[in-house]
Amino acid sequence: MKSAFLLAPQKIELRDIEIPRPQKGELLVKIKTALTCGTDLKAFMRGHPVIPMPGPFGHEFSGVVEETGGGTPYMPGDAVMAVHSAPCLKCPYCKKGLHNLCESIMDTKVIGAFSEYMLLPAHIVRHNVFYKPKKLGFEEAAFLEPLSCVVHGMAGLDIKKGDNALVIGAGPIGLLHLLLLKRKGAKVTVSDIKRAKLLKAKLMGAKEAVTPDRLEPGTPGFDYIFECTGLPQVWEASAGYLRKGGTLILFGGCPKGAKVTYDAGRLHYGEITLKGVFHFRPSDVREAYRLLTEGGLGVGRLVSGRYPLKEIRKAFEKLLKGEGIKYAIVP
């Protein structure tokens, strides 16, 4: 089978490798659509600690079951959508229900969606594989993984109709936040340094789309803020845009070892909440599945173009130049 290997930063090679054979509980999935994401772009630009090089990459996908090792309800020909990880349910964090913080979740994940086929291990098949309904296209179904992350970041927040929300960063994750917040009835402002992305946010329903210089700290402030850049200086600035009692969700991951500081008086007397979020739980995946299969979210608007697997480099070159949001790779 053909599989795109990331050999080194900005170097992709299409390789012929053996098609894996599923064992009991596993599924071999023929990839119909794989999507690019911010993590893939970071790996392409400079490498990434959770994406070994040289090696396959890509983790947002949907497809059709090609072969099963038995012991699952799925059969060859079934259209499926899935995510690339699942918790062990045995470690101390899993036993506390903190499945997204599972001690082995990153070690047992699978990557390699930019391929003709992908083998899904048994623990993922048990928890995070779903039948794709006919009404949902393969492209939209491939959004299950990133939408699960966004759902997790909003889990437990009492976002009500009319609440004022700010999304900082209008990349694919920021725009998914926009779509979900709009579905909840919030009035959403999106901020980014790139005007093309602000235009996209406006077209997708943002109440306002502004550059950072137009954001002013102080009252009344936002009820909820979602930081989606992963830049330490933006993490620090974000808290200043909250109202008293507001909540800041720190979604974007900063570089390892980065440190930020906050005004202790604002934290204490303003009773603001700062919350870091990471990955997702099976319950978040189920909710994301429900949202996608219900329809109406409009995630397909984030796809800026489509390329065959042999032209995958073109998609990443466009992203590297800041062109587009996400690209669909179609083997």
Domain of residue 189 covers 151-276
The pLDDT score that the predictor gives to residue 297 is: 95
Whether 224 and 314 share a structural domain = no
pTM over 0.85: yes
Q: Are residues 78 and 145 in the same domain?
A: yes
Instruction: Render pLDDT for 135-155 as a digit per residue (tens, 0 to 9).
Output: 999 999 999 999 999 999 999
CATH number, domain at 181? 3.40.50.720
Residues 296 and 260 in one domain: no
Q: Are residues 94 and 142 in the same domain?
A: yes
Q: Are residues 42 and 141 in the same domain?
A: yes
Q: List C-alpha distances in Å: 71 to 31, 89, 108.
A: 21, 19, 20
Q: How many domains does the chain have?
A: 2
| Residue-level pLDDT at 218 | 75
| pLDDT tens profile 167-209 | 999 999 999 999 999 999 999 999 999 999 999 999 999 999 9
Q: Let me know whether 227 and 166 are in one domain.
A: yes
Which of 16-20, 75-79, 91-95, 254-258 has the least mean pLDDT? 254-258
Residues 255 and 171 in one domain: yes
**Chain segment 280-305, per-residue pLDDT in tens:** 999 999 999 999 999 999 999 999 99
If asked whether residues 156 and 143 sit together in one domain, one would say no
Greatest alpha-carbon pair distance for the chain in Å reads 61
3 state DSSP class of 98: coil
Q: pLDDT at position 51, please?
A: 86
Last residue of a domain, one of 258, 276, 294: 276
Average pLDDT, the chain: 96
Q: Which of 155, 158, 153, 151 is nearest to 246 (CA)?
A: 158
* 131 in the same domain as 28: yes
Confidence label for 49 from pLDDT (cuts 50, 70 and 90) = confident
For 61-84, how does the pLDDT look when each residue is reduced to its tens digit (9 = 90+)?
A: 999 999 999 999 999 999 999 999
CB 78 within 8 A of CB 90: no
CATH number of the domain where residue 51 is located: 3.90.180.10
Tokens 């990557």, residue located: 111
> 174 and 295 share a domain?
no
pLDDT band at 160 (very low <50, low <70, confident <90, very high): very high
82 and 176 share one domain:
no
